[in-house]
Structure 1
Amino acid sequence: MAAMASSRGWGDLPPDLLALIADGLTIKAYTRVRAVCTAWRAAIPAASPSLLVRLDWNRHDAWFLSPRISTALHERLATLLPDRSVCLGSGHGWVAVHDPIFYELQFGLVDPLTGVDIPFSSFPHFAEHKLRVSKVVFAPHPTPTDFTAAAITGHDEGRVITYTAQGNSGWADAGCPRLGDRDSIADVVYHEERGGGGERARKCTKS
């Protein structure tokens, strides 16, 4: 009996005990624990996609809420998001942030866990002090020199989609010829084809 007990490894821990321990971990530790072995991965559900909740009174910390798990995961942010920053889109761990401060504009992508940011430094409407951005979408795995993104800018009937597939060197406005005189752009969706040639398509819907 003693020999059988001593041969049990970490992979034989009860699933309910593993789940209880995982509930007290940060988002990084939670992800690493799931990668230990097949048994642990099966016992601990994936935490993503998660909702990032930032506390107004402590902007260094955030909670990650996921519908797949029963608890909220706490994490200290590597970067401090400004008070007036507005989230315009998110995906794959990145957040699109627009932060108008006086006559300057901070606009781009931020990874709140690593602190890496990718400013949209050559965005064509960057000089407009009252730039209004309603949504940003972007491709996975962006880098400061190579990213694909699209943004809806402007007001009501004057909205346009500004996009790039070449980082900050390729921003341009895209037309939507099917829009009527009184229509406006309501949404923009990023879609990447998975087959032959890896073509990318940008779509806009009208309201």
Structure 2
Amino acid sequence: MASFRSWADLSPELLCCVGDRLDLKWYASARGACTAWRRALAPTSPAVLVVTDGDMWCPYAASLPTTRSFELTSTLPGVRCVGSSNGWLTLSVQQQPGGRTVFALFNPITAVEIVLPPLHEVR
């Protein structure tokens, strides 16, 4: 009968090749799978947020330790990134064309989105 090896026994070189093809969410999940994988795959932070100019909002997280960039997908149309802190993006979301704008916090790794209470006009 054939013997099977544990997934934790994958060579670091093979694991890095697989990791190079994962998006940010799956890469972070792979690092959390086991101690061996965490050692083999570089952490994603610190990362620099890079936003391209133009009509399409297409941000990237340029990860310094992994020496690669991860495309961050937007969950809503009409979204603009207005800031970031501690891995969270602050988004300005226009609800409808010409409609009101709300703000939300978005974690690009976990895809958790928190809509913030509306801002009142200061008079």
Per-residue CA shift, 1:108-128, capped at 9, x if unaligned?
3331643724335144xx256
Look at both structures and tell me which one has the larger radius of gyration over its CA atoms.
Answer: 1
Partner of 2:45: 48
Does 2:116 match 1:90?
Answer: no
Q: Distance in 2 between matches of 1:33 and 1:9?
A: 15
Percent pairwise identity: 25
Stretches of structure 1 that go unaligned for 5 or more consecutive residues are 129-207
RMSD: 3.3
Distance 1:57-1:23 versus aligned 2 partners, 3 A rule: farther
Partner of 1:22: 19
Matched-pair contact (CA < 8 Å) for 2:8–2:36: yes
Per-residue CA shift, 1:57-115, capped at 9, x if unaligned?
542x4322111112112342223354xx462x312432234589xx9873633316437
TM-score by length of 1: 0.45
Partner of 2:105: 110
Matched-pair contact (CA < 8 Å) for 1:24–1:73: no
2:69 corresponds, among 43, 68, 72, to: 72
Matched-pair contact (CA < 8 Å) for 1:27–1:73: yes
1:108-147 equivalences under 5 Å are 108-111=103-106, 113=108, 114=111, 116-123=113-120, 126-127=121-122
1:155-166 equivalences under 5 Å are none
- Once the two structures are TM-superposed, the CA of residue 18 in structure 1 deviates from its matched residue by 1.0
Richer in helix (by share): 2
Matched-pair contact (CA < 8 Å) for 2:78–2:93: no
1:33 corresponds, among 27, 30, 39, to: 30
TM-score by length of 2: 0.70
Distance 1:115-1:32 versus aligned 2 partners, 3 A rule: closer
- Once the two structures are TM-superposed, the CA of residue 11 in structure 1 deviates from its matched residue by 1.1
Which residue identity lines up with residue 104 of structure 2 in the other structure? Answer: L
Q: Distance in 2 between matches of 1:69 and 1:37?
A: 18
- Once the two structures are TM-superposed, the CA of residue 41 in structure 1 deviates from its matched residue by 0.5
Q: Secondary structure at the match of 2:26?
A: helix
Matched-pair contact (CA < 8 Å) for 2:91–2:106: no
